[in-house]
Structure 1
């Protein structure tokens, strides 16, 4: 591209001149990301190419409808971006059909429900307090208000999904839709069992793969696509794409899903985000992405083992995915005092470690306090950290949680890791 041609994309110097306050926010967020350990399981660092697409002039184009069937003129260029995203998603996930327009995972779920259900229908989904998502039937969410929701959970003794309970509830309540997928369940889900239960009662099966789709793309865990009628997902977790959502489905449901996304639940798609999704799908199709996905899981297992050795009990005994959940009950700090999930989160934040408090199954504490924390490895793996660094991170987190008076030394150790494995490495 000839650099003498007119403006093609973002120029940060223009933002600095025009709005220094917002420019400083961007710089401060970059400094925060570079200066600490990002252990939020639902976050990642996109590539500069993804960011370039997000900051492009495609944001200007209104494109209601689908490629070749728009309600606005002048969409012949953005049509190419969406076709690329669709084709790459179908190839990456080996799916019959892909819709790349949802603005988020919640939007994708809303569209899927609209395609398969009517208000008042019954659906069976994982309980929020056992690892499910707000859109799986929480009373504070549209899903809990519009549908009759039956919830399943995990066993007290193993903290694994109780498939016998799922089948029993399905037979008793005859839901029209069964949902599997979670936000804080660290183990693999047996999609074949869910498929069998759904077939037994004549229900649709929806897999919410928001957290695990990137691992499926990298073949680090089994794919849900062969078993599900519909798979909803986000693009911004292990997949390393822009913040957004998507839907995969069988050819039988393609038209219903497309109509549920537009015009039923959304208007114009965000074409800069669609293009950025295409970039991310393209990156995930490369062989090196499989290495990345495998490393994410290996790092999570190592981090879970390290934190367990430090006295934090891993829920279900460990992890098979990118995240681990820890029960802090029984853990005390250097003063012999118990540490809640909220307190652990606060202490880690002071040392430059970002993770989140999280309810654990059968948690006696409220969600604002919790007895647990959740950690994830997508970000640190993107930064090039491996098994050795995970062992160091486990020690660092434990010191931050148990010795709040040692924040300075913990911060030094954090800075040592981020200095050698920076987020968005500066060009020399």
Structure 2
């Protein structure tokens, strides 16, 4: 069906949907309309956000939402799940074919859920049957608290090593306030202080000394590619399981931008991901595993998860099917090339970037060095000007994780709208114009503030006008009229 026909049908569907919602709660219907207007009218550069396709969005709002389906395909704890089996099996098949994975588990509700499922999958798999028999039980589900303490000790005190938060890792990679930092005896690896790049020799030395049970690779704010083949070699040296969280860059893997040593699937035994972000699907998660972990990961519900969200699994199936097309591969290549254009635009204008550039979808700007601002000040000033970003820590950040010294930018969302390299260069110019005309303001106690800022008069309206030229040239859901 031609795109124009799809859009015309979607317009009718959404208009009817909003009318029906308004009969029950008009405030919600109006908020939905306003959210679309807000997204259409702003430059969205949050690296973890995107725009799902209309078929994907429509797949979320069906009566699959009404089904309980604990268990997995063919092994449910509820009757009447034949259609759920169909959509879950379809989503898993698409994921396996798209990524070249041996087995896919598509039930996780989010990336954090996917990581928890993965951790418990690895732990369950590593508990050897003789050890269970010694404890007088047949299944890990029968273990007492004391039994688990004994097994944690036998498993090297459940040690986990992941990238530190300020170097670009995620809070679920062992950050102490997160459950992952409480489940495991944890240690982090960072990046080279001089370059911001991963120092594989340093990681190897840390792994040899700490001997983790799980070595986690992947990132949420590292603007470079990772050699996952080298990370697997490091993990194998100490008998660790390599787990990769590719939530941010799954679209670049699916689109064949990351291949060979830079493709986590085939190098890591366990790979987790979200299905939104660069993959451009619904909000949710997945776990891809080698066959040896398949039986363990399929127990994600009830091991970690509650009932799977069948409506979201159906939307995952739609998005994964779309990601198998040549059009998606072209989209993935554009994400990476647009990120380079954005980075080069900043560098030409004198801004400082962590690692000096990018070769994925992320650009991390050191706003403290470049503009004399905290990340929070820069984020807020840009939002005033209609540019949506998020503040982010940089390696060795003196301002901590709340105020930060950086802003993280990503190219997936605006690339979905059709922005090209020239458009992203203009985006870099608008950001630099805004931040150069923003100054840190003093707090009420007269000391330098980390949150307050002042902007030059007339700046926001001028930047808004220039941004709207780009937005109007690259409309969001063109032809969709609500």
TM above 0.5, yes or no, is: yes
- Within the alignment, does 1:248 sit opposite 2:288 as a pair? yes
| Structure 1 partner of 2:112 | 106
| Structure 1 partner of 2:279 | 239
- Within the alignment, does 1:351 sit opposite 2:385 as a pair? yes
Deviation at 1:377, TM superposition (A): 0.4
Tell me the alpha carbon deviations over residues 143-181 of structure 1, each in whole angstroms, 9 at most, x when there is no partner: 111110111000111110111111111111111110001
Distance 1:37 1:371 in 2: 21
Aligned 1:199-210 pairs, distance under 5 A: 199-210=236-247
2:478 aligned residue (405, 415, 425): 425
> Greater Rg, structure 1 or structure 2?
2
- Within the alignment, does 1:369 sit opposite 2:369 as a pair? no
Distance 1:330 1:165 in 2: 27
Secondary structure, aligned partner of 1:343: helix
Secondary structure, aligned partner of 1:233: strand
Distance 2:158 2:75 in 1: 32
Distance 1:77 1:144 in 2: 38
Secondary structure, aligned partner of 2:401: coil
| Structure 2 partner of 1:287 | 326
1:50 aligned residue (56, 76, 85): 56
2:159 aligned residue (122, 130, 146): 122
- Within the alignment, does 1:313 sit opposite 2:352 as a pair? yes
| Structure 2 partner of 1:40 | 46
| Structure 1 partner of 2:419 | 385
Secondary structure, aligned partner of 2:209: helix
Tell me the alpha carbon deviations over residues 101-127 of structure 1, each in whole angstroms, 9 at most, x when there is no partner: 001110011011111136540011111
TM-score between the two structures when normalised by the length of structure 1: 0.95
Distance 1:427 1:108 in 2: 33
| Structure 2 partner of 1:410 | 463
2:26 aligned residue (20, 23, 37): 20
Secondary structure, aligned partner of 1:132: coil
Secondary structure, aligned partner of 1:368: helix
1:137 aligned residue (151, 170, 174): 174
Secondary structure, aligned partner of 1:228: coil
Tell me the alpha carbon deviations over residues 52-99 of structure 1, each in whole angstroms, 9 at most, x when there is no partner: 100111111111111111111111112111111010000000000000
| Structure 1 partner of 2:10 | none
- Within the alignment, does 1:91 sit opposite 2:97 as a pair? yes
Deviation at 1:267, TM superposition (A): 1.8
Tell me the alpha carbon deviations over residues 277-331 of structure 1, each in whole angstroms, 9 at most, x when there is no partner: 0001000001110000000000001001101222221111111111111112333
Distance 1:368 1:127 in 2: 16
Deviation at 1:11, TM superposition (A): 1.9
Distance 2:233 2:312 in 1: 36
Secondary structure, aligned partner of 2:114: helix
| Structure 1 partner of 2:7 | none
Aligned 1:109-258 pairs, distance under 5 A: 109-117=115-123, 120-222=157-259, 223-258=263-298
| Structure 1 partner of 2:86 | 80
Secondary structure, aligned partner of 1:330: helix
Distance 2:349 2:23 in 1: 49
| Structure 1 partner of 2:308 | 269
**What count of residue pairs does the alignment treat as equivalent?**
415
Deviation at 1:199, TM superposition (A): 1.1
Secondary structure, aligned partner of 1:81: helix
- Please tell me the root mean square deviation across aligned C-alpha atoms, in Å: 1.4
Distance 2:233 2:480 in 1: 52
Deviation at 1:13, TM superposition (A): 0.9
Deviation at 1:140, TM superposition (A): 0.8
Q: For residues 425 and 150 of structure 1, do their structure 2 counterparts lie closer, same or farther at Cα, with a shift above 3 Å needed?
A: same
| Structure 2 partner of 1:5 | none
Distance 1:209 1:94 in 2: 14
- Within the alignment, does 1:64 sit opposite 2:104 as a pair? no
